[in-house]
Amino acid sequence: MTSQKFRIDSMTMLQKKRKRQQRNRRGSTLLKKAYELSIMANAEVFLGIRFRDTGRIKTFCADTTGIWSSHLSHLDSYYPIPEHKTSSDFSESTLEGKSEEEAA
């Protein structure tokens, strides 16, 4: 009976891990899409994601005018420390590589 309980517990742990990994991938994809939108549409983009269960915050800011800087400085007081991304964190090669794949 204990081995069956261990097997069930390990399966639920594995499912939770997979769900957490999928959530993290989706968050990263949203940040990448926000970057792509800022480049393709020549737009000022600010994206904030807060995961409810962990309280982690991820932000992306493609702002050259400083409109969103007050929001970013406000988030620095949060714990855990937010992960901030800017356009310089992404390379132009990611967009070029994607367009080459779509053309093929």
Per-range mean pLDDT, top range of 22-31, 65-74, 76-85: 22-31
pTM of the model: 0.69
Per-residue pLDDT, averaged over 40-68, amounts to 89
Lay out the sheet containing 45-50: strands in order across.
45-50, 57-62, 83-86
Give me 43's structure tokens: 């737009």
Q: Which pLDDT tens digit goes with each residue over 1-20?
A: 556 666 767 778 889 899 99
Q: Is the dihedral of CA 96, 101, 103, 104 positive or negative?
A: positive
